[in-house]
Amino acid sequence: MKKYLLATTMMLAVTTAARADVVVMSWGGDYGAGQVAAFNRPFTEHTGIKSSMVDSDNPTALIKSMVEAKNVTVDVVEVEYPDAIRGCDEGLLEPIDPAILPATADGTAAKDDFMKGAITECGVATVVYSWVFAYDNKKFTQGPTTVADFFDTKKFPGKRALRKQPKFALEMALMADGVPASDVYKVLGTPEGVDRAFAKLNSIKDQLVWYQANAEAARLLADGEVVMSSGPANRFFNAAVTEGKPFSTVWDGQIYDFAMFVVPKGAPHLEDAMKYMAFATDTKQLAGMATELPFGPARKSSVPLVHFFKDGKTDIRPHMPTNPDNLKNAISVSSEFWGDHEAELTERFNTWLASN
């Protein structure tokens, strides 16, 4: 099935590349639609260069396959921060010259305007995204308020959903078990800490529903298969605001990180890909993306430009990961930690899943 999906996505990318100058690969759904509105359409209007979007749940794997096969059919790809670091180290990505990125309106250089860590050797951050959990507020008279409540099946009975991966689940488990956010990776870096995280997950294992694609986080909750679900904050926001779903988000214990644009080595339209990246990460365009969905812009100059959601009435600021109230008990994903430990923790995670 994975090989079929890979082949299908690659054929789609080839077809799209034939009719567009810049092919962008991203995660699809509401996120991809937001990027088309905030980046692709304005880019074409501004430059005359056509662009199109290809969806993928695992863009990093596709980059690797394309580069190794010397058949790259996409120009710009959005990946998670650790994948941008790893892809650069493995020689899969083109280096990015920060000088191509536009300055702010007052002349501040891009490198001084982006958040710390938002520009890497091969990547430029677009948004700060967040992993949280949400619940069906019709199921509880008084809903959960802390990350520990996600694991309290006595006070809040019902199935819970987690993405089928160790990342986010282990951090969440440790915070729920009382580890301060600032110490999570220090604790998780020890054998005792790993055991502690898995023990916490094990305490609700029989109540967990696992999913693969991010879109499933909100769907499982909407369909009533679970009473609470961990997943991307924007998915829950969109379901609540645009679809009227009875979802409430719990920000305590949020885990946030950058999403980054990268250019695969051998991109067919390298020059235009760099133009697209520079345009899309301008102050105005990143503010526009935050208006489409409740992400924190990666540029500081974008923040004052964000107020209302695209519906023109919903104040989007309380729903942004970078809102000070939402950062009171939060951690930034450590790309260094996951770069060093992802393989071993994934193996441990899969073994744990298969056990009784």
Q: Determine contact, residues 244/138, Cβ cutoff 8 Å.
A: no
Phi (first) and psi of residue 351, to 5 degrees: -65, -40
Specify the pLDDT at position 117: 87
Co-location of 87 and 157 in the same domain: no
The pTM of the full predicted model, rounded to 2 decimals, is 0.75
Co-location of 46 and 140 in the same domain: no
Specify the pLDDT at position 16: 40
* Nearest-5° Cα angle at 138, 137 to 144: 35
Phi (first) and psi of residue 286, to 5 degrees: -70, -35
Co-location of 234 and 342 in the same domain: yes
Co-location of 203 and 335 in the same domain: yes
Co-location of 299 and 311 in the same domain: yes
pLDDT tens digits, one per residue of 88-125: 999 999 999 999 999 999 999 999 999 888 999 999 99
Specify the pLDDT at position 90: 95
Exposed e or buried b for every residue in 114-127, given b needs 16+ CB within 10 A? bbeebbbebbbbbb
Exposed e or buried b for every residue in 133-163, given b needs 16+ CB within 10 A? bbbbeebbeebbeebbbbbebeebeebbbbb
Specify the pLDDT at position 20: 55
Specify the pLDDT at position 229: 98
Co-location of 246 and 274 in the same domain: no
CATH number of the domain within which 79 lies: 3.40.190.10
Specify the pLDDT at position 29: 83
Instruction: Find the domain containing 121 and state its range.
Output: 2-128+258-322
Number of domains in the chain: 2
Question: Residue 128 forms beta bridges with which residues?
Answer: 258, 296
Co-location of 208 and 296 in the same domain: no
Specify the pLDDT at position 267: 97
Q: Determine contact, residues 277/263, Cβ cutoff 8 Å.
A: yes
Co-location of 268 and 228 in the same domain: no
269 vs 20: CA distance, rounded Å: 10
Pairing of strands 124-136, 247-262: antiparallel
Co-location of 92 and 159 in the same domain: no
pLDDT average per 10 residues of sequence, the chain (356 residues): 42 44 90 93 96 89 94 95 91 96 95 92 94 96 96 97 97 98 97 98 98 94 97 93 95 94 97 97 95 90 91 91 89 88 96 92
Name 320's Cβ contacts closer than 8 Å, sequence gap at least 6. Answer: 290, 294, 295, 296, 306, 326
Q: How far is CA 319 from CA 100, 142, 189, 249, 290, in A?
A: 31, 20, 31, 9, 10
Co-location of 166 and 76 in the same domain: no
Co-location of 85 and 148 in the same domain: no
Co-location of 181 and 270 in the same domain: no
